[in-house]
Amino acid sequence: MHNEKMKKVGKNNVRKYAYDIAKHWLGKEKTMSHQAKVFTDEEVERVLKFTENTKHCLRNRTLVLTSFQSGMRAKELASLRYKDVVNSDGTIKSEIRLSAEQTKGSDSRTVYISTKLQQDLLHYVKGTHFRSVEDKFFQTQKSNSKVGFTPNTLCQFFHYLYKQAGIEEGASSHSGRRTLATKLCERGTNLRLVMEVLGHKNLSTTQKYLSVNVNMLKQAIELV
Residues near 141 by beta carbon (within 8 Å), at least 6 away in sequence: 56
22 plus 79 within the same structural domain? no
Question: Residue 101: inside a domain, yes or no?
Answer: yes
With CA atoms as reference, report the closest residue to 84 among 148, 141, 140, 176.
Answer: 148
pLDDT score of 71 more than 90 = no
Is residue 105 located within the same domain as residue 207? no
Containing structural domain, residue 6:
1-32
Q: Name the pLDDT band for 143 (thresholds 50, 70, 90).
A: low
Looking at every residue in the chain, the average pLDDT score rounds to: 81
Tell me the mean pLDDT in the region 47-69.
96
* Global pTM value: 0.76
Do 53 and 2 share a structural domain? no
Lowest-pLDDT range of 44-53, 106-115, 142-151: 142-151
CB 197 within 8 A of CB 184: yes
Identify whether 165 is part of a domain. Answer: yes
Alpha carbons 221 and 217: distance in angstroms, whole number: 6
Averaged pLDDT for residues 78-105:
94
In a domain, 203, yes or no: yes
Residue 20 has pLDDT above 80, yes or no: no
Same domain, 58 and 146: yes
State mean pLDDT over 162-185. 90
Any domain includes 15: yes
Indicate if 60 and 130 belong to the same structural domain: yes
